[in-house]
């Protein structure tokens, strides 16, 4: 076992991360004009990428009553993998069938992009977006979210599966029922996107 790796394993997470960042910069050319300030820029960038903005999920009364599926797709998003702090990115596809409320359409991409900021596991992120939308809509007939993403931790390192895309979904209400047309229609739209 590499003794340096062994020492890293016994450090606290915070010490480990800052020591390793310093070492990586030292091993390259810390005096070059490009790398002076890199550590600070990196820290500021991470802070920006992990600070979600406010999302105002304005809803309206569903009158006259819309009872068809509403789909916003594809929505590009970027996030950071909670296991490796390296990007995963791709598209989200969001649908709902309203109950008593409709949501402003532009709120859906904003919800996806702001929720994706931070350190996430794609499966949980997908569920979180569906859950937040469900909560804002109060009593929707159904909510569905599908996310397709490339994970740089799988493309750049490890298995080097750069063709692989991870697809996760959360279906609620009428989208859970395979016999209901909403689910089939939504999945057809997602597969064509
Ligand atoms: Zn990862």
Per-residue model confidence as pLDDT tens digits over 134-174: 999 999 999 999 999 999 999 988 878 778 899 999 999 99
User: Mean pLDDT across the chain, nearest whole number?
Assistant: 91
User: Would the pLDDT of 9 be above 90?
Assistant: no
Residues with C-beta atoms within 5 A of ion ligand 1: 81, 83-84, 153
Name residue, tokens 């904003």: 110
**120 Cα to the center of ligand 1, angstroms:** 9
Biggest CA pair distance of the chain: 69
How far is ligand 1, taken at its centre, from the CA of residue 162, in Å?
Answer: 13
- The reported pLDDT for the residue numbered 3 is 63
pLDDT score at 56: 93
Question: Residue 63: which pLDDT band, with cuts at 50, 70 and 90?
Answer: very high
For residue 159, the CA-to-ligand 1 centroid distance in Å is 11
CA of 182 to the centre of ligand 1 (A): 33
Question: Tokens 């649908």 appear where?
Answer: 95
Q: Ligand 1 centroid to 99 CA: how many Å?
A: 37
pTM above 0.85, yes or no: yes
Burial code (b: 16+ CB inside 10 Å, e: under 16) for 145-160 equals bbbbbbbbbbbeeeee
Residues 6 or more apart from 181 whose CB is under 8 A from it?
Answer: none
In sequence order, the 6+-apart residues with CB closer than 8 A to the CB of 81 are 87, 88, 119, 120, 121, 151, 152, 153
Q: What are phi and psi of 23, to 5 degrees?
A: -65, -40
């Amino acid at each position: 076992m590499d003794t340096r790796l062994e020492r890293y394993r016994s450090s606290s997470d915070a010490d480990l991360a800052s020591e390793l960042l310093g070492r990586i910069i030292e091993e390259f050319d810390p005096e070059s004009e490009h790398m002076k300030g890199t550590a600070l820029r990196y820290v500021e960038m991470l802070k920006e990428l992990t600070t979600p903005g406010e999302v105002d999920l304005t809803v309206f009364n569903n009158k006259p009553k819309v009872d068809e599926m509403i789909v916003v797709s594809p929505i590009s998003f970027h996030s950071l993998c909670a296991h490796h702090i390296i990007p995963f990115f791709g598209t989200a596809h969001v649908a709902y069938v309203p109950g008593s409320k409709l949501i402003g359409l532009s709120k859906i991409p904003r919800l996806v992009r702001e929720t994706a900021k931070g350190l996430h596991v794609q499966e949980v992120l997908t569920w979180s977006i569906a859950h937040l939308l469900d909560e804002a809509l109060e009593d929707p007939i159904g909510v569905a979210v599908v996310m397709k993403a490339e994970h740089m931790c799988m493309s750049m390192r490890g298995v080097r599966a750069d063709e692989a895309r991870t697809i996760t979904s959360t279906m609620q209400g009428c989208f859970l029922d395979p016999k209901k047309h909403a689910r089939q229609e939504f999945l057809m739209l997602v597969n064509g996107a």
